[in-house]
Amino acid sequence: MKRKACLITSSIVGTLAVLAACGCARAHKTPTVPHSTAAGSALQVSSGDRQLGSAGAPLPQPLVMQVNDDQGNGVTGALVQFSGPAGVKFDPSEALSDSSGQVTTSVTLGNTAGRYELTAVTYNKTGRALSVQVPELAAGYQEELGYQVQRKYCSRCHDPESTPEQVSNHDNLAVAPHSFDQGNTYNKLSDADLMAIIGHGGPAMNLSALMPPYDKTLTKADIQAVIAYIRLVSDPPYQAPGVVYAKP
């Protein structure tokens, strides 16, 4: 009995020693890991989320996270780690917050088009992880084409934001068009519905006549590209209907 206890103790000690050795070895191998000198109690996105980038290319703007304390002031020296699906690269992938509590990283999205859910994590005083999901959008060829087509033909009415280069017509319309990121509206419509509305105009689906038909102006591929773009930017994200099987 005593011997057994001795054995268990020694094995535990041994395991711990091995683990400690491993930990030390790892810490020695990568001396660049910054040590957290402070802990925040809230993590939020400061800027750079929901950007539309190209697959495999860096996002146009850096992702900036903000670490705050209980009073909402920036915390300096808190460690923030970034992670994402396979293929996403961060530079740097972890960093300490600066004097205003911000951590900046440049993000390169994976090689496939679609929505990427990135995660930013920091740890509070008790060591509990505070994580924030940051969505970013990667456009493939079709979405890129859709973006270009909608910028020329659609966004003047569908994008409420006005710039000196492109004045928005959104607020001038009797029936306000839906901005393309309104997932709650667009996700209910199937690809065929959207194809009908864009191709044959609003009245084709009992919607406003202010939406003109584009089937004689745009090619089918162009319209499909616009739909792909709408699906990409939609918030909440669009879930494609899976394959539907007949019930036995």
- Cα separations in angstroms, 116 against 53, 84, 96, 130, 229: 11, 7, 24, 19, 15
Near another protein in 84-123, by CB under 8 A: 85-87, 108, 110-114
The least distance separating another protein from the CB of residue 226, rounded to whole angstroms, comes to: 12
Angstrom distance (rounded) from CA 222 to CA 1: 78
The least distance separating another protein from the CB of residue 121, rounded to whole angstroms, comes to: 20
Contacts of 189 (CB under 8 A, 6+ apart): 197, 205
The least distance separating another protein from the CB of residue 199, rounded to whole angstroms, comes to: 11
Report whether 240 contacts 194 (CB < 8 A).
Answer: no
Nearer to another protein, 132 or 176 (CB): 176
The least distance separating another protein from the CB of residue 238, rounded to whole angstroms, comes to: 10
Nearer to another protein, 5 or 86 (CB): 86
Contacts of 70 (CB under 8 A, 6+ apart): 41, 42
Stretches 9-17, 28-36, 128-136, 222-230: which one binds another protein (CB under 8 A)? Answer: 222-230
- Cα separations in angstroms, 191 against 13, 54, 121, 219, 245: 62, 23, 36, 16, 19
**Residues binding another protein (CB under 8 A):** 54-58, 60, 85-87, 108, 110-114, 140-145, 148-149, 152-153, 156-157, 164-165, 167, 169, 172-173, 208-210, 212-217, 221, 224-225, 228, 240, 242-243
